[in-house]
Amino acid sequence: MYQNDINIISLLLRNKIYSPLRKQYGLNYHCVTVLLSCWFYSKYIKDKFAVTAISRLLNYYNNTHLNYYFPILIDKGLMVKINNSYSLTQAGFSAIQTIQDNYNTVLYSFCNEHNINL
């Protein structure tokens, strides 16, 4: 199976993959997407970030949208505001780990159920 096929399966299964996190924190899909973007930025670019940096990285939500989602993530304890920048909390990093762990479980179950060899 090619990497593109795995990517397509992952997109099809994203609601199942995100489900535990969405239920645990009461997040919608957009909040999870923003959280993932913040995690990616923190891990690969710089640990602290601004709204505009995430907006440029994600290139989907503008600053107005992000200014709506960031306070939700702060209220849930997944990130904090420090002066004019933001940072993920340990709970934020744990939430991403939940997604990564659930990804493997959901993908394995789906492939077994449908006799797909990766």
Does residue 118 belong to any structural domain of this protein? Answer: no
Q: Report the C-alpha gap between 96 and 78 in whole angstroms.
A: 10
> Which CATH number characterizes residue 94's domain?
1.10.10.10
Q: Looking at residue 116, what is its pLDDT?
A: 82
Does residue 13 belong to any structural domain of this protein? Answer: yes
- Give phi and psi for 54, each to the nearest 5: -70, -35
Read off the pLDDT of residues 77-114 as tens digits, 9 standing for 90 and up.
999 999 989 999 999 999 999 988 898 899 889 989 98
Residues spanned by the domain of 81: 3-113
Does residue 18 belong to any structural domain of this protein? Answer: yes
Does residue 103 belong to any structural domain of this protein? Answer: yes
Q: SS3 for 86?
A: strand
| Residue 2 banded pLDDT, cuts 50, 70, 90 | low
Domain count, the chain: 1
Does residue 35 belong to any structural domain of this protein? Answer: yes
Whole-model pTM: value is 0.86
Q: Report the C-alpha gap between 19 and 26 in whole angstroms.
A: 10
